[in-house]
Structure 1
Amino acid sequence: MNLFGGTISSLENGLNYASLKNKTIAQNIANVDTPNYKAKNVSFEKMLSDAKKSAISANRTDNRHFEFDIKQSTPGVYSYENFNYRSNGNGVDMDAEQASLAQNTIYYNALIERVSSKFNTLNNVIKGGR
């Protein structure tokens, strides 16, 4: 039985995206002084397309063959390969990273607020409106 019609799972996917983006931004900020480090970013469209094709299954021609799946570990993350922001080859723009972090934090907090609202509604129904 699906209580919210898939809303919770959609919010969960949004939170997974925001969490991965936050980790990527934090990694970029941590490597701001690393020579030849290329800044990384997360694309929701790329993450969605990678999720659709992330699992690769083996074709079994005999029932004695092992079943296995290969899954991509971090879908949607890509690097800016040809972008050098500094003379040492580093591609991290600190101002852009901080702005992106602030934007992602607002997005994440909005999703958390929505999930909390859904659970409060469920709690209210369970208690019978009291």
Structure 2
Amino acid sequence: MAISFDKALGIHQYTVGVRERNAELIATNIAQADTPGYKAKGMDFQKALQAASSGASISLDLTNGRHIPASKTVAGEVLYRTPTQPDTGDGNTVDVDLERNLFMQNQLRHQASLDFLGGKFKGLTKAIKGE
């Protein structure tokens, strides 16, 4: 009998990738905290997770016959974050304390998903070995 990884692993196989993308966005915000005019970015996690689990993808336009067709799985729409602090005069909307908290929260949830997936794989391994 074949193993269905979608059924065995559930939604957690997709949350790992979306959490990684979210971590990249938050880390970029923190790195750009002193850049004048930089606008903090974020993502709607639920929409990104739906897109990842549905296998939604976009294809790139071919503008030349010699171009190689390509597509990319959608990892969620990147949005600008609503500023939570008054403008400091340079147009930067990054709130470093908020970004650090979001990063920590995202990393804890990412690790929880990895731990959950690890447990699922251990269970599958035991089932295959007949233990």
% identical equivalent positions: 28
Residue 107 (structure 1) shift: 0.4
The alpha carbon displacement at 1:4 in A equals: 5.0
Distance in 1, Cα, partners of 2:71 & 2:6: 30
In structure 2, the residue matched to 1:118 is: 120
The one-letter amino acid paired with 1:78 is L
Q: How does 1:38-77 map to 2 (within 5 A)?
A: 38-47=39-48, 48=50, 54-55=57-58, 75-77=76-78
Question: Are 2:91 and 1:89 aligned?
Answer: yes
* Structure 1 residue 43, shift from structure 2 partner: 0.7
Structure 2 gap ranges (5+): 62-68
Supply the distance in 1 between the matched residues of 2:75 and 2:3 (Cα, whole angstroms): 28
* Corresponding residue SS for 1:6: helix
Q: TM-score, normalised by structure 1?
A: 0.74
Corresponding residue for residue 20 of structure 1? 21
What secondary structure sits across from 2:22 in the alignment? helix
> Which structure has the larger Rg over C-alpha atoms?
1
Question: What per-residue deviation string (whole Å, max 9, x for no partner) do you get for residues 78-111 of structure 1?
Answer: 113x746432110100110011011101100110
After superposition, the Cα gap between the structure-2 partners of 1:52 and 1:78, relative to the gap in structure 1 and judged at 3 Å, is farther
Superposition RMSD in Å: 3.1
1:104 aligns with 106
* Range 71-80 or range 116-125, more displaced: 71-80
Question: Structure 2 vs 1, CA of residues 10 and 28 (structure 1 numbering), >3 Å: closer, same or farther?
Answer: same
Aligned length in residues: 121
Cα distance in 2 between the residues matched to 1:18 and 1:30: 18
- Is the 8 Å Cα contact of residues 26 and 99 (structure 2) preserved in structure 1? yes
Q: TM-score, normalised by structure 2?
A: 0.73
**1-side partners of 2:111 and 2:119: how far apart?**
12
- CA 1:93 to 1:36, structure 2 compared with 1: closer, same or farther past 3 Å? same
Name stretches of at least 5 consecutive residues in structure 1 with no aligned partner. Answer: 59-67
Distance in 1 of aligned mates of 2:27 and 2:10: 26
Q: Does the 8 Å CA contact 2:56/2:74 hold for their aligned counterparts?
A: no
